[in-house]
A = this chain, B = another copy of it.
Amino acid sequence: MQDTPRGLRLHIGLFGRRNVGKSSLINALTGQNVSIVSDIPGTTTDPVEKPIEMAPIGPVLFVDTAGIDDDGALGGERVRRTETILERVDLALLVVGPDGFGPFEARLTETLRARSTTTLVVINKSDLGAPTPALLEAAKAAGRETLTVSAQTGAGLDVLKQTIARLAPEARLEEPRLVGDLVPAGELAVLVVPIDLGAPKGRLILPQIQVIREILDSDAMCMVVKERELPDALLRLGRPPKLVICDSQVVLKAAADTPPQIPLTTFSILMARFKGDLNRLAAGAAAIERLRPGDRVLIGETCGHHPLADDIGRVKIPRWLNQYVGGGLITDVAAGKDFPDDLSPYSLIIQCGGCTVTRRHMLARLDRAGSQGVPMTNYGVAISLLQGVLPRALGCFPAALTAFERARGVGQ
Given contacts A1-B303, A222-B224, A223-B222, contact A8 B236 (CB under 8 A): no
Given contacts A32-B41, A210-B202, A237-B236, contact A1 B224 (CB under 8 A): no
For the complex, would chain A's binding face be called helix, strand, loop or mixed by DSSP majority? Answer: loop
Chain B residue with Cβ nearest A193: B216
Cα–Cα, bound, A59→B229 (Å):
29
- Residue pair B216, A53 in contact (C-beta under 8 Å): no
Which residues from 155 to 206 on chain A have a C-beta closer than 8 Å to any C-beta of chain B? 186, 188, 193, 195, 200-206
- Residue pair A236, B238 in contact (C-beta under 8 Å): yes
Which chain B residues lie closer than 8 Å to A200 at the CB level?
3-4, 58-59
Cα–Cα, bound, A1→B6 (Å):
10
Which chain B residues lie closer than 8 Å to A222 at the CB level?
223-225
| Least CB distance, A188 to chain B, in whole angstroms | 7
Q: Does A226 contact B (CB under 8 A)?
A: yes
In-complex Cβ contact of A186 among B201, B202, B229, B303 (8 A): B229
Cα–Cα, bound, A213→B205 (Å):
10
Which chain B residues lie closer than 8 Å to A215 at the CB level?
224
Cα–Cα, bound, A410→B105 (Å):
74
- Residue pair B226, A216 in contact (C-beta under 8 Å): yes
Q: Copy number in this complex?
A: 2
- Residue pair B213, A221 in contact (C-beta under 8 Å): no
Chain B residue with Cβ nearest A235: B238
- Residue pair A202, B4 in contact (C-beta under 8 Å): yes
Which chain B residues lie closer than 8 Å to A235 at the CB level?
238
In-complex Cβ contact of A217 among B1, B195, B217, B305 (8 A): B195
| Least CB distance, A196 to chain B, in whole angstroms | 11
Chain B residue with Cβ nearest A211: B202
- Residue pair A1, B223 in contact (C-beta under 8 Å): no
- Residue pair A209, B203 in contact (C-beta under 8 Å): yes
In-complex Cβ contact of A229 among B2, B219, B306 (8 A): B219
- Residue pair B221, A221 in contact (C-beta under 8 Å): no
Which chain B residues lie closer than 8 Å to A236 at the CB level?
188, 221, 237-239
- Residue pair A216, B238 in contact (C-beta under 8 Å): no
In-complex Cβ contact of A2 among B195, B209, B239 (8 A): B209
| Least CB distance, A203 to chain B, in whole angstroms | 5
| Least CB distance, A27 to chain B, in whole angstroms | 9
Given contacts A186-B229, A186-B232, contact A209 B216 (CB under 8 A): no
Q: Does A42 contact B (CB under 8 A)?
A: yes
Which chain B residues lie closer than 8 Å to A255 at the CB level?
none
Q: Does A5 contact B (CB under 8 A)?
A: yes
Cα–Cα, bound, A232→B53 (Å):
36
- Residue pair A225, B229 in contact (C-beta under 8 Å): no
Cross-chain pairs A/B with CB under 8 angstroms, 28 sampled? A2-B2, A3-B200, A4-B200, A5-B202, A35-B41, A37-B37, A195-B217, A202-B209, A202-B213, A202-B214, A203-B209, A203-B210, A212-B224, A216-B224, A216-B226, A219-B226, A219-B228, A219-B229, A221-B224, A221-B225, A221-B233, A222-B224, A222-B225, A224-B224, A236-B238, A236-B239, A237-B237, A237-B238
